[in-house]
Chains A and B, each alone.
Chain A
Amino acid sequence: MSFFRRLQQDKLGIACLMFLGLLTLAGIFAPLLAPHDPTLVNVAVKLATPSLEYPLGTDHLGRCLLSRVLFGIRTTFFYAFLAMGVTILFGVIFGMLAGYSNGKVREAILRFCDAMLSFPSEVMILAIVGILGPGILNIVIANILSKWAWYTRMIYSSVQQYRSKNYVKFAQVNQGSPFYIMRKHIASGIAGEVTTHSTLEMGWVILSISSLSFLGLGVQPPTPEWGMMLNEAKNVLFTNPWQMIPAGTITLLVVIALNFLGDSLQNAMNPQAYMINVKQQKKLLRFGTGRKRLNVNIESEKS
């Protein structure tokens, strides 16, 4: 069974993928979908409850919450993708360099990564934001700097694994240039693992961006962003608790969808984990020759 066939069978994973896809589309077409301008201040209708005119109500300045949530998709997804993309790029470059070079370069990269990893990422992010000053781009930079070392290590160990494979050795014997081998053989090998990890990590990045925006260190007004919307909702918590529902719910849904999707990808990527899920194991064991049949399944998966 191929990777996509296995993923297709995972209904939850597909549902999450569709949800995230739809949300991305909604973000791209936000100007068409949003009923109002997300930054249009209209104090006459401030703190309105949901109505036909304002489906999710309005905030303390009378701005349409639905429009702000929709435009917030752009902010959140854009910066999260940016942070993730550059992190992976750095991780791939340095990880491959470390995995494919010998001696000093590798040692230098790995030692440096170890030292970077001795800072917990939360503190690292706060430290970098503290030094560079508040601002969304500084948060993106902080996210990249605090995560790239981890990706470098992960990619390094995968590269080590693939380097000992026979087809890579064969390519080396055939005088394939290191760059060609990395691109053709190793990159395709590690792509799956990187995708899975970055999907799982994406939720974390989104949370970190919106938490810092919530503290006022990230996205600056009037750009709509979910964390900042919750910060504004906090000020009217006593009188208008509804304010914190839309932005909070959408953040929660996105993070849950990313987590489930990451798990599904992991299962689809790794046929053995997929086969030996506990339920199946039990069912097979109950029908007598289960253990044998399970092994046969795994064997046929491998080949």
Chain B
Amino acid sequence: MRQYLTKRILSTIPLLLFVTFLAFILINLRTSDPAEIALRVNQITPTEEMVQSMREELGLDEPFLVRYKNWIVNSLQGELGYSYVNKKPVLEELQLAIPPTLQLAGATLAIIVFFSISIGILCSIFENRWQDRLLRGFIFFLSAMPSFWIGLLLMWFFAVYLGLLPTSGMNSPQSIILPAVTLSMTFLSTYVRLIRNNMIQNKHENFILYAKVRGLNERTITWNIFTNSIQSSLTAFGMSIPRLIAGTVIVENIFAWPGIGRLCVKAIFNSDYPVIQAYIVLMAVLFIICNLLVDIVVVMIDPRLRREAK
């Protein structure tokens, strides 16, 4: 087990290096001169000398690999550079934006887990009867809707028409409901389908037949099927956490939620590269770490894989 863990953790290092290097190259491939942009966003018409001194200030006149090394070392120390627009440290901006996004992602995850499990179980109990079809059709319909459209429809119905919930912003605890529901719609259908199909597959396994023969009641049997079906969904849940956080971009912009998605889109409009770069690296690292954790958890849960890992 320990051997497997070290191997798996070590294997992420080249990946992390590659991803950061890619992000660094991509940022350096852009057509416009960052020194010039840094001047322009502050409404200064750049002259030749000013661009030159700005380049030195931003450390852009050093060789490529040296800059990459400096950047990595600085990033590890938490120095992610300064935003071109308001001159604040990028780290500070991220610290302000990450908690709201995590709240939103957490609330969304709770909605996804609750509804996908309950609907998945219901669908498998009523396998291929009208209840199953109705639920699946409804979920499918919701998942095909563009998320920004669901957001607008929900906002109109609950905030404008019924006046029950706030339209946007993050002023009261209720304001998280609409963005979280909107975000969960995209993911719900995948998990409902996954849990339903797993449950149906497990229904025909021998251990369930045995449980039936033993005369266990329906509820215990369903519970047995469920605990056996949840394993493969667990991987998918873990994988979808970074995807969820990346998916907040649209929802945060509709509902004016002050998270990292909104920060990133604002940065794109302003060509604020340090912020974009920090966002990309943050997301990539998050994705890699989540993958790692999921892999480890899966091995720990499944005895068969644990033996193999030894």
Contact = CB atoms under 8 A, between A and B. Distances in A.
A9 to B, nearest CB: 20
A118 B144 contact: no
Interface string A108-129: 0000000100111011001111
Chain A interface residue number, banded: 35 or more
Given A120-B283, A130-B280, A115 B250 contact: no
Interface in A106-157: 115, 118-120, 122-123, 126-134
Interface of A: 115, 118-120, 122-123, 126-134, 203, 207, 210-211, 214-217, 227, 230, 233-234, 237-238, 241, 244, 248, 251-252, 255-256, 259, 278-279, 282
B246 A134 contact: no
Given A211-B250, A237-B160, A115 B19 contact: yes
Nearest to A122: B246
Secondary structure of the A contact surface, majority rule: helix
9 closest A-B pairs by CB: A248-B149, A130-B276, A122-B246, A123-B283, A127-B280, A130-B268, A255-B144, A256-B144, A214-B148
B287 interface: yes
Given A115-B22, A126-B264, A252 B146 contact: yes
Interface of B: 15, 18-19, 22-23, 26-27, 29-30, 127-128, 140-141, 144-149, 152-153, 155-156, 160-161, 242-243, 246-247, 249-250, 253-254, 264-265, 267-269, 271, 273, 276, 279-280, 283-284, 287-288, 291
Contacts of A210: 146, 148
A237 B19 contact: no
Contact of A122 (B149, B243, B291): B243
Of B152, B156, B253, B283, chain A has the most CB atoms within 10 Å of the CB of: B152
A215 B155 CA distance: 17
B102 to A, nearest CB: 16
Nearest to B147: A211
Interface of B is mostly: helix
Contacts of B265: 215, 217
Given A115-B15, A118-B288, A211-B146, 20 more contacts: A118-B291, A122-B246, A123-B280, A126-B280, A127-B279, A130-B273, A131-B273, A131-B276, A133-B271, A203-B144, A211-B147, A216-B269, A227-B148, A230-B152, A234-B152, A234-B254, A237-B152, A251-B146, A255-B145, A256-B141
B152 A122 contact: no
A132 B26 CA distance: 9
B152 A233 contact: yes
A227 B26 contact: no
Residue with the greatest number of chain A CB neighbours at <10 A, chosen from B19, B140, B249: B249
B65 to A, nearest CB: 19
Contacts of B247: 122
Contacts of A119: 19, 22, 283-284, 287
